[in-house]
Amino acid sequence: MFGGGYIMLKKYNIFPNIVLEDKAELISEIKKSIREEIKSIENSGLAEETPFGWVTNNKRGLQEKSLKSLCLLLGQIFSKNIGKVYDTRKLQIDIIEPQLICIKPGHMLPLTAHNRRWYSGCIWLQTSNKGSGIYFKDMGPRHFVGPDCVDRDFALKPQENKCVFWPSHVPHGFYYNDSQIDNYLIICTFRAPVKQ
Report how far apart, in Å, the C-alpha atoms of 8 and of each of 2, 3, 4, 13, 183 are. Answer: 15, 14, 13, 17, 51
Residue 27 lies in a domain: yes
For position 1, what pLDDT does the model report?
Answer: 47
Domain total in the chain: 1
Residue 11 lies in a domain: no
- Please report, for the domain that includes residue 187, its CATH number: 2.60.120.620
Q: How far apart are CA 25 and CA 9, in angstroms?
A: 45
With residue 81 as reference, give the H or E element that holds it: helix 65-82
- Residue 154: domain span: 20-140+149-191
- Helix, strand, coil proportions of the chain in percent (round to 5)? 20, 30, 50
Q: Residue 1: what residue type?
A: M
Q: How far apart are CA 175 and CA 156, in angstroms?
A: 10
| DSSP assigned state of 8 | P
Residue 12 above 60 pLDDT?
Answer: yes
E strands of the chain, at which residues?
20-23, 47-49, 53-56, 94-103, 109-112, 119-126, 134-137, 153-156, 162-167, 172-174, 183-191
pLDDT band, very low/low/confident/very high, at 153 (cuts 50, 70, 90): confident
Please choose, from the candidates 173, 189, 177, the residue with its C-alpha nearest in 3D space to the C-alpha of residue 103: 177
pLDDT in tens, 78-133: 999 999 999 999 999 999 989 999 999 999 999 999 988 999 999 999 999 999 99
Residue 196 lies in a domain: no
Residue 8 lies in a domain: no
For position 115, what pLDDT does the model report?
Answer: 87
